[in-house]
Amino acid sequence: MKILILGAGAVGGYWGARLHQAGIDTTFLLREKRAEKVRKEGLVVKSPRGDATLPVKVVTRGDDGAPYDVVVLACKAYDLDSAIESIAPAIGSDTTIVPMLNGHAHFATLDSKFGAGRVAGGLARISGMLGPNGEILHSGASGVSFGERSAVPARASLVALDAACKKAGIDGGLNANINQDLWDKWIMLATIAPMCCAMRGNVGDIVEAEDGATIMLETLEECRKVAASEGYPPGEKVLAGIQSMLTQKGSKAVASILGDLEKGGPVEGQQIVGDMLGRARKAGIAAPNLRFAYAHLQVYLARRARGGLPTPK
């Protein structure tokens, strides 16, 4: 099978690197600057599971090597429009698109452009970040989850992608209940992301505050009610795990959106928090914590748009 991955950041870069190492036909669709660096220096991965410098295949145009069996979108949600433009020439009659974006808002856009039948569900649980020289700094978890969003047997391309992941040592893979998994991740992310941004700290910092753990759990409950209203309440075990993770004393866990914000960069405020809040309002669910946190992110973005942020040192 032929796989095209848009992006070579922590998620797409690590996943694609391991697929390449396993002998899977994997190509990266990158912007010119990133493509030039990877072509010259290789894709560099530093990981507890093994470091590597890999001479991966790189293209800057979607029609180069097209069509592909699977196209993985491993970009930020705010880059969706440009991502769609980039991958459109790579899509053939049997191509499956696997988006790994946060939240749910991207599905409506992708379905409208390519047709819902082409778009699978997908999410990543890969811990890492890009280093100062563009290297992938993988720090722990390396799981992905993907599957059909409707109640049909998994198509051949997803079955093949699952086999490729197993060969590459990537955890997870094909998930017959991907919609529930998407919601389980979203309620966790829509809690930790706005709380870390509003309080400017990691989970351990927040829990040390007098009402920090209580506010965290209140926010999670707002998100849980939204998921339930949409027909995807988390199971008791899943919910208990999220509660424990978000209230663990001394935890260094932090949403990556805080790093983006502290660098003065764009953030996925609407996709992670705003969409959740909008669904709460539509369902008549009170969500005061989400309301405050989303207003906080909107103010940040408005200030950024007018150039009112200090230059990062």
Domain co-membership, 10 together with 117:
yes
Domain co-membership, 28 together with 153:
yes
Domain co-membership, 169 together with 184:
no
Domain co-membership, 188 together with 171:
no
Q: What is the pLDDT of residues 65-84, one digit of tens each?
A: 999 999 999 999 999 999 99
Report yes or no on 310 lying in a domain: no
Domain co-membership, 165 together with 194:
no
Map residue 67 onto helix, strand or coil: coil
Mean residue pLDDT of the chain comes to: 95
Domain co-membership, 163 together with 185:
no
Domain co-membership, 153 together with 219:
no
Domain co-membership, 171 together with 184:
no
Q: Which of 109, 141, 175 finishes a domain?
A: 175
Q: Which residue stretches of the chain are H helix?
A: 10-21, 32-41, 80-87, 105-114, 156-168, 178-199, 203-208, 212-229, 236-246, 256-262, 269, 275-282, 288-305
CATH number, domain containing residue 186:
1.10.1040.10
Q: Measuring CA to CA, which residue among 187, 173, 99 is closest to residue 143? A: 173
Q: Which of 127, 147, 175 finishes a domain?
A: 175
User: What is the reported pLDDT for 128?
Assistant: 84
pTM: 0.93
Please report, as a single letter, which amino acid is at residue 60.
Answer: T
List the domain range (segments joined by +) for residue 41.
Answer: 2-175
Query: Is 39's pLDDT higher than 90?
Result: yes
Measure the CA–CA gap between 206 and 247, rounded to whole angstroms: 8
- The DSSP bridge partners found for residue 56 are none
Q: What is the pLDDT of residues 267-280, one digit of tens each?
A: 999 999 999 999 99
Q: How many domains does the chain have?
A: 2
Domain co-membership, 160 together with 26:
yes
Contact 180/124 with Cβ under 8 angstroms?
A: no
Q: What is the pLDDT of residues 184-230, one digit of tens each?
A: 999 999 999 999 999 999 999 999 999 999 999 999 999 999 999 99
Contact 145/165 with Cβ under 8 angstroms?
A: no
Q: Which helix (H) or strand (E) covers residue 95, if one does?
A: strand 91-99
Q: Measuring CA to CA, which residue among 113, 26, 103 is closest to residue 70? A: 26
Report yes or no on 163 lying in a domain: yes
Q: Lowest mean pLDDT of 47-51, 94-98, 161-165, name the range.
A: 47-51
Q: Which of 141, 175, 209 finishes a domain?
A: 175
Domain co-membership, 191 together with 171:
no
Q: Measuring CA to CA, which residue among 91, 96, 221, 102 is closest to residue 149? A: 96
Measure the CA–CA gap between 256 and 153, rounded to whole angstroms: 34
pLDDT band at 313 (very low <50, low <70, confident <90, very high): low
Domain co-membership, 164 together with 247:
no
Report yes or no on 120 lying in a domain: yes
Instruction: List the end-to-end C-alpha distance of the chain, in Å, as a whole number.
Output: 45
Q: Is residue 182 classed exposed, middle or buried when 0-12, 13-18 and 19+ CB atoms within 10 A define those classes?
A: buried
> 130 or 311: whose pLDDT is higher?
130
pLDDT band at 256 (very low <50, low <70, confident <90, very high): confident
Contact 72/5 with Cβ under 8 angstroms?
A: yes
Q: Which residues contact 212 (CB under 8 A, 6 or more apart)?
A: 199, 205, 206
- How many CA atoms lie less than 13 Å away from 150 in the CB half-sphere? 7
